[in-house]
Structure 1
Amino acid sequence: MFGEIILSIKLAFRNLRSNIGKTILSLLGIVIGVTSVILVLSLGAGVKSFIVSQVESFGADIVQIEVKVPKTSKTSSQNASGQVGGTQITTLKIKDMEKVAKISNIGAWYAAVFSQQIVSYQKKNKQVMLMGMTSGVTEADKKGEIESGEMYSDEDDRSLKQVVVLGYEVKQTFFGDNDAINKEVKIKGQTYKVVGVLKKRGTSAFFNFDNTLYIPVQTLQKKIMGIDHIQFAIFNMKDKNKIELTLLEMTETMRAQHKITDPDDDDFAVNSIAEVRDILDTVFSTINTLLLALISISLMVGGVGIMNVMYVAVTERTFEIGLRKSVGAKKTNILKQFLFESIFLTIFGGVIGVLFGYLLSHVATLASGYAGYPIDFQVTPSAILIGFGFSAGVGIIFGYYPAVKASELSPMEALRKE
C-alpha cells in the first residue's frame, strides 16, 4: 500500500512538472489567499501586542473612570466634549473623583479633560493637545516627569491660574534650547505663563505625549472650553491584589454620587488595565475571525481554479487513464494520483504564500519603525499552520470531485476517445 502511495505521488509530481504553465496559473489564487492569511494574522497579532504593551506600560495597578452612555456599553475617553456615540455625557465632575479618591486602597490620582487648540508664541503657532489635569498627574503618571521648572499646584487649579507645563516638542518648537520658564504663550488670545517643561516621552498607544501642554483642569474647563465636566480620571492602587474589591467600592461610590440605583443607568464606567486587555483580546479575536472569513473567499476562488485545471487534466489525459486501467490500475490508484496533484498544487502554493507573507510582514515591521510606531509583525507557527491548513483543505475539497471523475472512467471508453 505504501508503495502505491509513493507511485501516485511520483506520477502526480511528474504531471505537474510537465504542465508548468498551467501549474503556475492555478497556484495564483492559493498564493494570494495564503499570503493574505499570514498577513492578517501577523498584522493582527503585532498590533494587538503593541497596543496591549502600550496600555500595560501605564501600570498593572491603574484603574480608570470614564463616561458611559446609560443602558449601553458605549464608553469614550477620546472626546473632550463628553460625547459618546453622539450622546452628550456631562455628568462626570471633579467632586465625584475627589470622593472616590478617599477609598483606602487608592493612592495618587488625577482627573482630566482634553482639547486641541492652537498655541502661539511670538510669530510661531502650533496645534497642541491641551491636557487639563489636576496636579496629581505627575505623581500618578510616573512617565510624565518634569525636566525643568515645576508642576502647577492644587491652589493654581482652584484659583483658575493661567499657567502651563509644556511638552518636550512644544518647548523645542517655541524656544529651542533656550529656557522656557516664566515665558508666556497664548491660547485663544489669553496669556499663560510657562512654569514647567516635561521630559521627552515620545509616542505611546499612538498618542504623541511630546506635543502636549499640561494646564490646570479647571482653567481649561472654565476659561477655554466653557464646561464643568471632566472626561476621565486615573487612579493608582496602593495594593494591586485588592483591585477587584476596590473596583466595587469605586462603582458604589459613583452610584451614590449620581444617585443611581439601577446599574443599567450607570453614566460612568470603571475599568482596570486587566479589563482593558480582555476587551482588546475580544476585539482583535473578532476582527481576525471576520477578516479570515473574507480571505477564505479568495481561497475558494483559488480552489475553483484548481478544480477547473484538474477537470482539464482529466480530459487531456483520458487515454492515459484508460491505458493505466487496462494494465491493472485500480480506481483508487487513479483517484490518489489526481488527488495528490491537487494537494501538491495547494501545498506548494501554501509554501509560496507563507514566504510572501513572511516577507511582507517583515516589510511592515520596518515601515512601522520608520513611521515611529515600532510594531513587530511576527509570523507565528500558528499562522503558518492555519495558512497550510487552509491550502491543504482547499486542495482536498476542490480536487476530490475531478479525481473521482477520473477514477470512474471506463477503460474501453477512455481508449476509444483517443
Structure 2
Amino acid sequence: MLIWTTIKLALKSLYANKLRSFLAMLGIIIGVGAVISMLALGAGAKQNMLDRVSSMGTNLLYLRPGQRRHHGVTTGTHQNLTLQDAEAVLKQISNIKAVAPVVSRGGQLKYFNKNTSNSIIGTTITYFPMRNFEIEKGRAFTEIESERMARVAVLGSETAKKLFEENDPIGEMIKINGINFRVIGVMKEKGDRGWFNPDERAIIPLSTAMKQVLGVANVREIDIQITDKADSKKVIDDIAVLMRKRHRLQPEQDNDFSVRDQADIREMLTSFAKTFTILLGGIASISLLVGGIGIMNIMLVTVTERTREIGVRKAVGAKDRDILRQFLIESLIVSGVGGLLGVALGFGIARIVSMMEFSTVVEPQSVILALSVSAAVGIFFGYYPARRAAKLDPIEALRYE
C-alpha cells in the first residue's frame, strides 16, 4: 500500500472521530505547551541573570576578605583589606584599568517624614563607570569632594522615588543614619536583580563613609577592572601573589582574601539556570508521558471498534505491515498535530507570563525538542495498539460483532 494512500486513510479515520481524536491530542497539547512554557521561563531566567551581571560592568574582578577559620571551621570574615591594598593593585599589577575600594552597610535614609532602609555604599568616583552606573539627574561627586569628606550623596532611582516621589531631589538635604547629606545626583534605573536591587542605594564618598558614617578602617571589597586584552587568570594570580606578600602570609598559610572573576559568577549563574531549566522541563515532561498513555488508550479502543474493518482489509489482501503502518501513522498524526497546537499554547503561556514581569525566552531548540519528543511519544505509545491490530486473525476479526 502506498504511503500516501495510508496517510489519507488515517486522516479519514481520524476525521470520522473528531472528538475522540481531539481528546487523544489533548494530553500532548498540554504536555508540549507545558514543556515549551517551562523551558521559556528557565531560558528567560538565565538570560535575565546574565544581562544583569553584564549591566553591572565588564571585565571585573572582585577582591574580598577571606573566611576566618579555626580548626577547619569558618568563624567569620577577615577585615583586612585596606586603601593601600587598592593602590598597590593599581600601581603594581599589569593590565589594570581601574580600581574602586568599597565599603557598604545597610542604613536609614530620611527626608522629613519619609524614610527608607537602603544600602549605603562608600566608594570612589571610578565606581560609577566601572559598574555602568549612569547619572540621570544632577552629577556624581568629585575627587575634591572625596578628599574633603564632603557630605554629598547620589541616590538610586528607587530610593529617590521613595523619598521624594515625583519631586526633584537635587539640592535637597536628607539624613543618612542621622547625618545630614545633600543630594547631588540620581542614577538611571537599572531594574531589580531579584537577589538585590541596585536602584535601592545611596552612594557617598569613600572617605566620608569610612570616617563619618560607618566608622571603619578597612574596606569590604576592592572592585578591579582589567583591560579588554588582559588574561584574567594571570591577573588573578598576580593579585594573589601581591596580597600574600602585603599581608605577610607564610607559605603554609591559606589566603586571607579571595579574588573572584566576573566570568566565574556568570558561569555559576548559568549552571544554576540550566539546573532550574532542566527541573522545570522534567516536571512538564510528565504531562507528555500522561498524554502518550492517553493516545495508547484511545488507539486500543479504536482497534477494538475497527476489528471487523481490519478483518475485511486483510481478507482483500492487506498485509500486517499495512495495518501496522496505518495505525502508527494515525498515532503519529495525533501526536504531531497535538505537538504543533502545544507549541502555539506554549508561546501563548510564555507571552502571558512575560506580561507579569517574568522574563521568558522561547528558544528554537526547545521547540524542536518538544516536537521531536511528541513525535516519539506518538510512535512509542502507538506501536502496541498498531501491532495488536496488525496481528489480528482475519477470520476471527470478520466474526467480530
TM-score interval (norm. to shorter): 0.7 to 0.9
* Contact 1:171/1:180 (8 A) holds in 2: no
* Contact 1:171/1:197 (8 A) holds in 2: no
Map of 1:299 onto structure 2:
288
**C-alpha separation in 2, matches of 1:54 and 1:305:** 43
Alignment counterpart, residue 397 of structure 1, candidates 380, 386, 400:
380
For residues 251-330 of structure 1, the aligned pairs below 5 Å read: 251-257=240-246, 259=249, 261=251, 265-266=254-255, 268-330=257-319
Q: Which amino acid in 2 is paired with 1:341?
A: E
Q: CA 1:117 to 1:160, structure 2 compared with 1: closer, same or farther past 3 Å?
A: same
Question: 1:99: Cα distance to partner?
Answer: 3.6
Question: 1:161: Cα distance to partner?
Answer: 6.6
SS in 2 for 1:240: coil
Q: Which amino acid in 2 is paired with 1:93?
A: L
Question: 1:236: Cα distance to partner?
Answer: 1.5
SS in 1 for 2:108: strand
Q: Which amino acid in 2 is paired with 1:22?
A: R
* Contact 2:10/2:326 (8 A) holds in 1: yes
Alignment counterpart, residue 89 of structure 1, candidates 66, 77, 82:
77
The answer as to 2:176 corresponding to 1:193 is no
**C-alpha separation in 2, matches of 1:70 and 1:288:** 35
**C-alpha separation in 2, matches of 1:284 and 1:252:** 34
Q: CA 1:413 to 1:128, structure 2 compared with 1: closer, same or farther past 3 Å?
A: same
**C-alpha separation in 1, matches of 2:111 and 2:206:** 22
**C-alpha separation in 1, matches of 2:292 and 2:344:** 20
Q: CA 1:142 to 1:26, structure 2 compared with 1: closer, same or farther past 3 Å?
A: closer
Q: Which amino acid in 2 is paired with 1:384?
A: V
**C-alpha separation in 1, matches of 2:169 and 2:279:** 53
Deviations 1:343-384 (A, max 9, x none): 11111110110011112222333433xxxx7x4x34332122
* Contact 2:63/2:222 (8 A) holds in 1: yes
SS in 2 for 1:387: helix
Alignment counterpart, residue 26 of structure 1, candidates 24, 27, 37:
24
Q: CA 1:68 to 1:283, structure 2 compared with 1: closer, same or farther past 3 Å?
A: farther
For these two proteins, the number of residue pairs brought into alignment is: 392
**C-alpha separation in 1, matches of 2:381 and 2:192:** 47
* Contact 2:55/2:132 (8 A) holds in 1: no
* Contact 2:310/2:323 (8 A) holds in 1: yes
Q: Which amino acid in 2 is paired with 1:200?
A: K
**C-alpha separation in 1, matches of 2:374 and 2:63:** 47
Q: CA 1:204 to 1:15, structure 2 compared with 1: closer, same or farther past 3 Å?
A: same
Q: Which amino acid in 2 is paired with 1:38?
A: I
For residues 315-354 of structure 1, the aligned pairs below 5 Å read: 315-354=304-343
> Given the two structures, how large is their TM-score scaled by the length of structure 1?
0.81
Question: 1:260: Cα distance to partner?
Answer: 7.0
* Contact 2:32/2:371 (8 A) holds in 1: yes
Q: CA 1:287 to 1:267, structure 2 compared with 1: closer, same or farther past 3 Å?
A: farther
**C-alpha separation in 2, matches of 1:143 and 1:121:** 24
**C-alpha separation in 1, matches of 2:213 and 2:57:** 31
Alignment counterpart, residue 151 of structure 1, candidates 117, 138, 141:
141
Deviations 1:251-306 (A, max 9, x none): 3334445537579x556543333333333333323322232222222111111111
Unaligned 5+ runs, structure 1: 72-85
The answer as to 2:235 corresponding to 1:246 is yes
* Contact 1:133/1:216 (8 A) holds in 2: yes
SS in 1 for 2:349: helix
SS in 1 for 2:99: strand
Alignment counterpart, residue 118 of structure 2, candidates 128, 134, 146:
128
* Contact 2:61/2:262 (8 A) holds in 1: yes
Unaligned 5+ runs, structure 2: none
**C-alpha separation in 2, matches of 1:272 and 1:106:** 14
| RMSD, matched Cα | 3.3
> Given the two structures, how large is their TM-score scaled by the length of structure 2?
0.84
Question: 1:335: Cα distance to partner?
Answer: 0.6
